[in-house]
Amino acid sequence: MFQILDEHREYLSDPTRIEAFSRAIAEIVKPGDVVVDLGSGSGILGLLACRAGARRVYAIDNSGLTQLEREIFAANGFADRVVCIKGFSTRVSLPEPADVVVCDQLGYFGFNAGIVEFLSDARRRLLKPGGKIIPARFDLCVAPVEAPEIWADCEFWKRQCAGFDLTPAYAAAVNTGYARKFGSNQAIAAPQIILSMDLARDSESRISGKASAAFARDATLHGLAGWFDAELSPSARMTNSPFAEKAIRRPAFFLPLDPRTAVRANERFEVALTIVPRESLISWTVEIIGDDAIPRARFSHSTFRGMLLCPEDLRKAAPDFVPTLNDWGAARRTVFALCDGRRNLREIENEVLRQHAELFPSSAAAAAFVAEVMVPYAYEDSNF
């Protein structure tokens, strides 16, 4: 809880972020509107919507902040206008459609905090036809960078630790994206928009883009910096660009290029990027084009190759795998079967302990297990 609270303190301490959302919500939300806030956290976007005149705000969040959020709305006189719902927005149904959906699930590289999936679902199920979304769209931008300190985090895996060889991890390290901060002097070519995402339209399962530019100086190329530039409303934008004068306090993204390569001024780089938003997969390919217009270096990376996949898990995901439940799976099945609308929680705990005594050293352990299984799925018709 303390870590979550401190994370939201950081968000609320970012005047650029707050000012951008404040301006956008004041522009989009009209008196009497119904607003849905996805991933509402501390409730700041809902508070801004109430200030703009929203008749009703549905604040949806799956973290432990929900009760604190209720108290914050009450402290500001909005308890009668806000419904706080603990749960995943993709599993929530509302009693009325929304005029506006607002969301700040923009990751370091825009898409990678789930915003595409969440807003696609909300647009289909929770938003009125013709309703508005904040943010409406965002551009993904890249620039080649000289970043020896960040590159050292990848090369760490080439060094020995206590005399042991760790190099098997290197391939995963250079196929992983990193949240990092950059200095304005680290870009070695002009930033480029590589693709744009319109969040008001049906999202594609796979999106691609290309960009090209000339290197501005001789340098060592270590990778790509990536960031987003979001349109919150016609007059409000927000970016985490490390090269912008007024950026929010959110790190950019680093995509390594292996091996590090010396480049010369006026040579060109060409980058192709493919993203599968739902799976948070990124593939990036870069070519260095020399003075003779012939590629002299080529890099190909994918976060799929950076995934830590175990053969045991892959076998269980094969279409011809025939699964059977282990003892813990059987215990979970028992919990679900006992949630029949007749038994109370104590009765369920006692019955689970009776049927699976070998798994639990105490009644307290059984109670903790039942709560873990039951809480995300137990139905309570009391939100509205």
Q: What is the pLDDT of residue 248?
A: 96
What is the per-residue pLDDT for 316?
87
pLDDT, residue 383, reads 61
Domains plus CATH for the chain? 2-104 (3.40.50.150), 138-311 (2.70.160.11), 327-374 (no CATH)
Structure tokens at 158: 């080439």
Phi, psi of 239 (to 5 degrees): -140, 155
- Cβ atoms of 283 and 305 within 8 Å: the answer is no
Q: What integer pLDDT is reported at residue 214 of this predicted model?
A: 96
pLDDT of residue 380: 66
What's residue 297's pLDDT?
Answer: 95
Residue in 230, 152, 144 with CA at minimum distance from that of residue 187 = 144
Global pTM? 0.89
**What φ, ψ does residue 264 adopt, rounded to 5°?**
-120, 150
Q: Which pLDDT does position 384 carry in this prediction?
A: 67
Max Cα–Cα distance, the chain, nearest Å: 78
pLDDT for residue 273: 97
Mean pLDDT by 10 residues, the chain (384 residues): 80 95 98 97 96 98 92 97 94 95 92 87 95 96 97 94 95 96 94 93 83 96 97 96 94 97 96 92 95 90 92 89 94 95 95 96 96 84 61
| Angle, in degrees to the nearest 10, between helices 44-51 and 66-75 | 30
